[in-house]
Structure 1
C-alpha cells in the first residue's frame, strides 16, 4: 500500500476565504483562470503544503530506461508518476523491474508543460527480500569476475578421508544428520566439530574465523576435508553464508570444502565458492564418507581377483621351472663347462694378441708424434730457417750477377746500334743536311723559294749557297699521284720517317 509521509492536504480548503500563510496574503481567486495560472497555483500549493522530501513505498510499473528512468509507483488505491535522472540512476546500484516493491525518496513537483504532478527521485531502495536479492546478485557478479566460481580452481574431495571437520552449530539438526550418516556409512572416518553461529549478525565473522583456523592448522590436526552446513530457513536466516568475508576464506582455504546450506532450492555464495555443493547435510556426509557395505563388497571382489591371479601366476612359474630343469645346461653341465672353458681360453688368446697389436700401434704413433715434436722444437726450426736463408742468399747473388752481365751486354749492343743509326755515321756515308736561313732542316722543296739562301752540312764541314731554280723529281711525282689515290681511302695514322727523325734534334 502506497504511503506518503507528510501532512494530509484537503483540496476543498482552496475555495475558502483568503488567509495568511507563511507570512504571505493570498489574492482573491478570480471568476476564471488561465491554464498557466492554474498550473502555478497547483505548484505553489504543493510547495506550501508538502514537505521538501517525501518517502513513498509502492510497486513499480511501466518502467522505461531512456537515459533517465521514467516509471509509475502504484498500489491498490492510486498511481504516481516518477522520474529518476541519469545521475540518480548511476548511483542506485540496480535496475528496477516492473513489479518490484521499492521506497522512493525525493520531492513532488508539478510539471506545467505536460500537466503532470511527478515525484522526482533522489534515491531508490528495494524493500525486504528484494534488497537482499539485489545484494546477492551484485556480490555474485563481483566474485565471478574475480574467479571465485571458476571450476578449474576447485579441489577434488578425498576418497578416504581420515578426519572431517564439520563447521556448523552444535544445537542444529544438520549436525545430527551428518553424524548419523557418517556413523552408518563408515565409522572409521573421524569427525571434528567446529561450533559456530549460523544465523545472526556475528555468524559470518565466526564462520570466517573457523575456516581460517582450519586452514592454518589442517596439517597439524590431520584434517582432510571440511563440511560447512546448516538447516533450512529464509533468505535472511541464511544471509551469513552470503557475506564477502565468508567467500574470501573459502576461496583461500587449502582443504577441500563441501557446502550444504539450507534446502535444495536455496543457493548461497558459500556453496558457489566451495569446492563442491550438496543439496542437504546428509548428501554432504555421503559424498565424503565411503559406504561400508560397498567397501566390503569391493574388498571381497579384490581378494577374489588377487587369489585367482596369484594361483595362475604360481602355476605358470611352476611350469617354467619344470621346463628350465629339463634344459641341457642342467642335464649335461660338465660338457657345457668344458665348451665354455675352451671358448674362454680362445677368447683370452685373441684378447692378448689384440692388446699387443694395439700397444704396438700406439708405440709407433707415439714415436711419430715424438719425431714431430722434435721437428717443431724452436732450435730445430731456427736451424732449418738459417739453412733456407743461406740458400736463398746464394741464389739471389747468383741471379744478380747473371742479370748484371746480361744488362751490360744489352747496353753494349744498343750502343753499337745507336752509333750505326746516328746522323754522324750517315754523313760519313756521303749524305748531307740542308738548313734554311733560320737554321731549320729543309725536308722539302716546298719550304724554299728561288733566291733563298741555304746552308748544306757535310761530314767534314758546311757550304752556303743560293737557290736558283726548283725541280721535282720523278719519284715525287709518283708519290703525289699515290697520295691522290689514297684520299679516297679511310684516313690512317701517318708514321714518321725513322731516318728523318734522327735529325730532329739538329733543328
Structure 2
C-alpha cells in the first residue's frame, strides 16, 4: 500500500488528535516555528500565511506518547510465531524473532526464562532456544525510552514443528529410561530358529515386500504372519499398539516366536507414531521377543530403543530373524563329518581298550585269580587262629599264676605248709639217733604247743585287722559319706567344686547325692567358713594312716610259729 503524502494541515492544533496530540498549558501561546531562511514569519495577510505552529515536543514527551500509543494500540497479551535469531543467554534471554519480512527484538527476563527452561527441558536438564528454531512467544510490546527501542517482553515461549517433536522425544526418552525400559538386561534374545514371525506393518508398504523377499530367500520354512496396521497419520500409534497386543495374547495359539515392527523411511512427522508411549508399552509387554526396524539407518525411534533387537533396515531385520538355510545345510554337513570322525576315533580307542582287557590275567584265566585269592584267605585264617591261640595261652598262664599266688597267701595254705614242715621234721626225727630224739621230741612238743596257742591268736588278729580295714574303707567310701547326707558337686567339665569362686552365675552344675544326681544352674555364690575342718567336707574325707600289718620284718611273710631263730 502506497504511503500518502504529508499533509501539513493535519498538524494544526485545532485538528490535532491521536498519537502526537498534546494540549498546551493554559495561557501558553502556540510555539512559533521559524522558516527555513531563519527569518521571521510571513507578514499578516500574506497568501502563504499558515496556521500558527504548535510548541515543539521534548524527547521525553515523545517517548511517553510512543509508549502510551503502543500500550493502547496493542492487546495486553500477544502470541507471535517466528524464528529465533541471535540468541544470548545472559541471565535474561535476548534474541530476535523474525520472519521473511520483519524482525522484532525480544527480551525474556530471568524468572520467566527459568520457568520456560524447566518446563521444556527433560527432568534434571535445561532447555534454551536455538538459533533458527521456530517458536511461539506470548508477551507484550514495550517501548524502552532510554534506548529508544521497541521490545517484545516474552512471558512464555514454546517450540513448534520439529523443535516441539524433538522436545517431546527427549522427554519421553528420559521418562522411559527412568522406568528401565531401555536397560540391556531387560531385553530378550531373538530365537535362532523361529517357527513363525509376526510382521506388524502396513500391507501396502515397501518395507513388507523387502521383509517377505528376504525371509523366503533365506529360509522358506519360517512362517510369516502379516498384521496390517497404519504406520503414519492420526490413529496410527493406537493401531500399531493394538496389533502388537493381539499378537502377544495369541502367540502360543498362532505359533508365533517373534514379532517384527517395521516401516519404510519418511520424515520425522511420518515416523512419529513409533515415538508414542502406547507403542513402547506394547513392545515392552509383548510375550515374545520384538525386533524393530523403523525408517532408515539414521532414524531413531523410541520403538527401536525399547525393542529387544534394533535393526537398521527392514531387510536387516528379516535377516536377523531368519536363519540362512544354505549356511545351516553347510553347518549340518560339517557337523555330520565331525561326528563320524569322532565316532570312528572312539570306536578305535574302545577296541584297543577291549583288547588290552582281554589280555589281562584276570580275564584270560579267571581260575588263577580265584586260586590266588583263596590261598591268601587261607593264610590269613591260619595266622588269625595262631594269634588267638597264643593270646589265649598267655591269658591262661597268667590266670594260673595269679591263682597260685592267691592260694599261697590264704591262711589255710600257710597252715598246710607249716604242717608239712612239721611232718618233715618228724620224719627227720625218726631217722635221727636216739640221743637227738628226746631233744627233738621236746622241741616238737613245744612247737606243737606253741602252734596250738599262736595259730588261733594269729588268725583272730588277722581277722580283726581285716574287719578294721573293711570298716575303715566303708567309713571313707564316698557312697557312705553320701548316705550320711553329704553331696559332691561338679562343674560342666566334671571337676569337683571346692570353692564358690570356681563357678559363676548361670553355670550348670551336677550334684551327686546318695540316691542319684541333681542338675542345677547357679543363681549366686557366697564364701564359706574357711575354718571348717577337712573331715567335715564330703568331697575331702579324712584319710587315716594305715597301721602296719606286721610290726617288724618283711610284711609279706607271716609271723614265725617258732619265734626268731
| TM above 0.5 | yes
**For the residues of structure 2 that align with 1:249 and 1:352, how far apart are their CA atoms?**
88
Pick aligned residue for 1:121 from 154, 157, 179: 154
TM-score, normalising length from structure 1?
A: 0.63
TM-score, normalising length from structure 2?
A: 0.57
Which aligned pairs between 1:55-204 and structure 2 lie closer than 5 A?
55-89=79-113, 90-91=115-116, 93=120, 94-204=127-237
Change (3 A) 1:199 1:97: same
Size of the alignment, in residue pairs?
A: 362
**For the residues of structure 2 that align with 1:161 and 1:354, how far apart are their CA atoms?**
78
Q: Which residue of 2 aligns with 1:41?
A: 65
**For the residues of structure 2 that align with 1:271 and 1:115, how far apart are their CA atoms?**
54
Secondary structure of 2:261's counterpart equals: strand
Secondary structure of 1:260's counterpart equals: strand
| 2:357 is equivalent to residue 324 of structure 1 | yes
Pick aligned residue for 2:78 from 44, 54, 62: 54
Which aligned pairs between 1:204-283 and structure 2 lie closer than 5 A?
204-283=237-316
Q: Which residue of 2 aligns with 1:303?
A: 336
Secondary structure of 1:227's counterpart equals: strand
Change (3 A) 1:180 1:32: same
Change (3 A) 1:9 1:143: farther
Secondary structure of 1:340's counterpart equals: helix
Secondary structure of 1:267's counterpart equals: coil
Q: CA deviation at 1:112?
A: 1.6
Residue pair 1:9, 1:49 contacting (<8 A) in 2 also: no
Q: CA deviation at 1:300?
A: 0.7
**For the residues of structure 2 that align with 1:227 and 1:212, how far apart are their CA atoms?**
13
Change (3 A) 1:33 1:284: same
Q: Which runs of 5+ in 2 are unaligned?
A: 25-52, 121-126, 389-476, 487-534, 537-541, 543-565
**For the residues of structure 2 that align with 1:283 and 1:188, how far apart are their CA atoms?**
18
Change (3 A) 1:38 1:354: farther
**For the residues of structure 2 that align with 1:141 and 1:13, how far apart are their CA atoms?**
64
Residue pair 1:69, 1:83 contacting (<8 A) in 2 also: yes
Residue pair 1:102, 1:125 contacting (<8 A) in 2 also: yes
Cα offsets for 1:125-184 (capped at 9, x unmatched): 323222222222232233334333232322222222222221112222222211221111
**For the residues of structure 1 that align with 2:54 and 2:281, how far apart are their CA atoms?**
70
**For the residues of structure 2 that align with 1:131 and 1:19, how far apart are their CA atoms?**
49
| 2:341 is equivalent to residue 341 of structure 1 | no
Change (3 A) 1:48 1:220: same
**For the residues of structure 1 that align with 2:283 and 2:155, how far apart are their CA atoms?**
38
Question: Larger deviation: 12-21 or 287-296?
Answer: 12-21
Residue pair 1:258, 1:277 contacting (<8 A) in 2 also: yes
Q: CA deviation at 1:343?
A: 4.0
**For the residues of structure 2 that align with 1:71 and 1:319, how far apart are their CA atoms?**
92
Secondary structure of 2:64's counterpart equals: helix
Change (3 A) 1:123 1:226: same
Cα offsets for 1:423-458 (capped at 9, x unmatched): xxxxxxxxxxxxxxxxxxxxxxxxxxxxxxxxxxxx
Which aligned pairs between 1:478-493 and structure 2 lie closer than 5 A?
none
**For the residues of structure 1 that align with 2:386 and 2:196, how far apart are their CA atoms?**
74
Secondary structure of 1:106's counterpart equals: strand
Q: CA deviation at 1:108?
A: 1.1
Q: CA deviation at 1:227?
A: 0.8
**For the residues of structure 2 that align with 1:242 and 1:181, how far apart are their CA atoms?**
27
CA RMSD of aligned residues (A): 3.6
Change (3 A) 1:346 1:159: farther
Question: Larger deviation: 141-150 or 103-112?
Answer: 141-150
Cα offsets for 1:388-447 (capped at 9, x unmatched): 98xx79xxxxx9xxxxxxxxxxxxxxxxxxxxxxxxxxxxxxxxxxxxxxxxxxxxxxxx
